[in-house]
Amino acid sequence: MKAFGKILGIVVLVLLLLLVAAGFVLTHFFDPNDYKDEIRQLARDKANVELNLKGDIGWSLFPWLGLELHDTSVATLQAPNQPFADVQLLGMSVRVLPLLRKELQMSDIRVEGLNLSLNRDKNGAGNWENIGKPIQPADGAPVGSQPAPAPSEPAKPAAEARQPMKLDIDSLTVKNARIDYADAQSGKNYTVEGIELTTGAIREGSNIPLKLSAYLGSNQPVIRARTELTGNLRFDRALKRYQLEDAKLSGEISGDPLQGKTANYSAQGQLVLDQAAQVAEWNGLKVTVNQLRALGEIKARELDKEPKFDGGLSLAPFNLREFLGGIGQPLPEMADATTLTKLELATRVAGTRNSLSLGDIKLKLDDSNFSGTLGIADFSKQAIRAQLNGDRLDLDRYLPGKAAKAQEATSAARKAEVEATTSNAIQGDTPLPNAPTQQAWSDAPMLPVARLRTLDLDVALQLGQLTLDKLPIENASLKLRGQGGLLNLDDMRGELYDGKFNASASLDVRQDVPLLKAQKHISDVPVDLLLESQGQKPPLKGLLDLDADITTQGASQKAWIDNLNGTARFVLTQGVLLNANLEQQLCQGIATLNRKSLSSAHGGKDTPFRELQGNLTFRNGVASNPDLKASIPGLTVKGNGDIDLRVLGMDYRVGVIIEGDKSDMPDPACEVNKRYVGIEWPLRCRGPLELGAKACRLDRDGLGKIAAQLAGDRLNQKLEEKLGDKVSPELKDALKGLFKKK
């Protein structure tokens, strides 16, 4: 028995020696380079590819089945002279005996100098689409005739047939690889170059360390990026589950969109892909772009259909203005350069390939806090949807600063004109002020017309406090819709200085010149505070009720005023004319008619009135007011005239009907006797609106007519006394008519 075992051992040893000798002979006396043509033909027949072996082939047989290809390229059979891939070196080796057990044990896989060129032609066909496809004859018939298939063997059990080959690879190394993609239809080119990939041992169910670096570029727009990815890969092919643990992606990006700036970025987290459930997750998400810092988690589902994702995201407080400037996206000039310096966000995220929604928003922007939802329903249409509630917002700080500066420059010239007119106007004995001529509005563009034409909006906003055009609005509510260049302000309402207002409007930017329509209602709003908010010195006080329906066109303040048309009705109650002693001027007129001098000043600094009302018709920036009415204690005022909004000037003829002097000790020179009751005393008001009643003077021409009327009335009275009952009533009336003012 011992002899038999010894003989068996000798036989095994001899067989091993023979195998080693055979491997030595094959690898040293059999040169695969002598069979390149046969290998090429084999690639054509079996793989339907054109294999060009320009370099040497190195190989080994046992115990490693090794292969090295040098300077090799691959093309389709349809375009054999246009290789889509070439490689300087491809080296790999496989243990022979484990292959018999369906185990793939490999040493290092090395790939150097790989170039992959992918392109689509003008018809949209890709050069990779024919890989592995045979050449079809012109008549479309199949190439050659295939023998009838042999009777199939009994099917193997499903478990055995589906059992995957076990992988065991020491490492994978890719150096100096490049991928180019060109699209002839769009003219866009993309490159990934300088690709370097190294991994640890590749074994299923084990962590596989990997490191990948590359440079990415595109031509439309011109972008250049450097990126590096590290992490530990784990996979389970049976469960179709892949994980990238402790993943970290970092790099920098520059190019035309960044206007010469560079953005440094990084992303970290745990990535999971479950193909069986068609779910992908990114947990422990950490993203940085320059000074921006974000944390969160994202989960995608239905990957095989229309992918949907959701998750949570939070942004640490950062300076948005500096961040945008750092990536070459400067903000438009705003009235306040300190805006957008504080931004903090926490939200739930959901979306698809073409939409994004932010829900449960907790947003802090400068001094404002918001909650609600915000999203883009369709990226291609820029369809913005928002429902936000906020505590306060000073919108004036975010409006264009250039328009404000232009307005200040325009107002400066007009202010100088007004100041030159104001001196001593309150005395009432200076000449009638001239009508203003300086334009009061800026011609700086206020509307980004091109941008507005592309908007698709549906926005609802609720604010506890809103400052707009310097007006402090409480409990503001706004609903805005826009699509195809037509924007509708369905409703805007709020409380203003203890009063209320609501408005609706539409803006049509579909044509070259924007068209604006608006309807507004104001109730019990202090008019003096309205004027003060606009930087104007109020000429009066009172509670304003206003209904207006107007249209205009243009894109600047000046254009809006110059093209203003429509109607309005106003009522001002509990009013006071400030710094206007109307009683003094009236007494001066009465004293002139009485040919007496006033013994003292009359009235106070201001003139109160119970009501001021009228209707306005706007025509190209000029408001005509034919029915001005005011009720002042002891007086009734009527007027008609124009308000030129272009220069903020007025020109009115006012009639004052004296109802009687109610004071206990009237001035004899200003005493109103019966013959003055019911007479309409004429005033002319002309000048800047800021002057209010200080721009009013007695109308000398009108006074002459009143004097003639009074003289006629006195003669009629004397005729009545002289004639008595001596003449007929018809003759008496005829004689009186001779002295009446025509």
CB atoms within 10 A of CB 604: 10
pLDDT at residue 1, as a whole number: 47
Whether the pLDDT of residue 491 is over 60: the answer is yes
pLDDT at residue 231, as a whole number: 96
Whether the pLDDT of residue 293 is over 70: the answer is yes
| Structure tokens belonging to residue 324 | 């945008």
pLDDT at residue 13, as a whole number: 46
Whole-angstrom distance, CA of residue 263 vs CA of residue 291? 10
pLDDT at residue 625, as a whole number: 93
CB atoms within 10 A of CB 224: 16
Whether the pLDDT of residue 291 is over 90: the answer is yes
pLDDT at residue 91, as a whole number: 83
pLDDT tens across 149-161, in order?
445 455 555 444 4
What is the average per-residue pLDDT within 182-187? 91
Beta bridge partners of residue 474, listed in sequence order: 465, 495
Residues whose CB falls within 8 Å of the CB of residue 674, separated by 6 or more in sequence, listed in order = none
Q: Output 22 or 429, whichever has higher pLDDT.
A: 429
CB 544 within 8 A of CB 528: no
CB atoms within 10 A of CB 697: 20
Least confident piece of the model among 162-171, 299-308, 524-533: 162-171
CB 476 within 8 A of CB 466: yes
CB 103 within 8 A of CB 166: yes
pLDDT tens across 26-76, in order?
455 557 777 678 778 877 887 788 888 888 877 766 566 677 888 888 888
Cα 564 to the center of its chain, rounded Å: 29
Whole-angstrom distance, CA of residue 462 vs CA of residue 702? 55
What confidence category does residue 165 fall into, taking pLDDT thresholds of 50, 70 and 90? low
Burial letters 711-730, b for 16+ CB under 10 A, else e: ebeeebeebeeeeeeeeeee
pLDDT at residue 139, as a whole number: 54
Q: Output 250 or 598, whichever has higher pLDDT.
A: 250
What is the average per-residue pLDDT within 264-270? 96
pLDDT at residue 714, as a whole number: 54
What confidence category does residue 95 fall into, taking pLDDT thresholds of 50, 70 and 90? confident
Whether the pLDDT of residue 352 is over 70: the answer is yes
What confidence category does residue 146 fall into, taking pLDDT thresholds of 50, 70 and 90? very low
Mean pLDDT of the chain: 80
Whole-angstrom distance, CA of residue 388 vs CA of residue 366? 16
Whether the pLDDT of residue 565 is over 80: the answer is yes
Whether the pLDDT of residue 582 is over 50: the answer is yes
Residues whose CB falls within 8 Å of the CB of residue 678, separated by 6 or more in sequence, listed in order = 657
Residue from 430, 410, 411, 408 nearest 421 by CA? 430
What confidence category does residue 602 fall into, taking pLDDT thresholds of 50, 70 and 90? low
pLDDT at residue 309, as a whole number: 94
pLDDT at residue 711, as a whole number: 60
Residue with tokens 């945008």: 324
pLDDT tens across 656-687, in order?
777 655 566 666 666 666 666 677 778 888 88
What is the average per-residue pLDDT within 113-141? 79
Whether the pLDDT of residue 314 is over 60: the answer is yes
Helix, coil or strand: residue 3: helix
Q: Output 2 or 382, whichever has higher pLDDT.
A: 382
Residues whose CB falls within 8 Å of the CB of residue 276, separated by 6 or more in sequence, listed in order = 239, 240, 241
Residue from 656, 447, 453, 727 nearest 559 by CA? 447
Whether the pLDDT of residue 444 is over 90: the answer is no
pLDDT tens across 628-650, in order?
888 776 578 888 999 999 888 89
CB 112 within 8 A of CB 120: no
Q: Output 316 or 556, whichever has higher pLDDT.
A: 316
Least confident piece of the model among 31-40, 189-198, 276-285: 31-40
pLDDT at residue 22, as a whole number: 46
Burial letters 389-423, b for 16+ CB under 10 A, else e: ebeebbbbbbbbbbbbebbeebbeebbebbeebbe
Whether the pLDDT of residue 195 is over 60: the answer is yes
Enumerate the domain spans of the chain.
Answer: 22-128+165-220, 514-698, 712-742
- Residue 639 burial by Cβ neighbours in a 10 Å radius (0-12, 13-18, 19+): buried
pLDDT tens across 609-633, in order?
777 889 999 999 999 999 988 877 6
Residue from 219, 247, 216 nearest 234 by CA? 247
Q: Output 354 or 428, whichever has higher pLDDT.
A: 354
Whether the pLDDT of residue 360 is over 90: the answer is yes
Residue from 214, 220, 145, 148 nearest 175 by CA? 214
The beta strands (E) that lie in 484-539 are given as 486-496, 499-508, 515-526
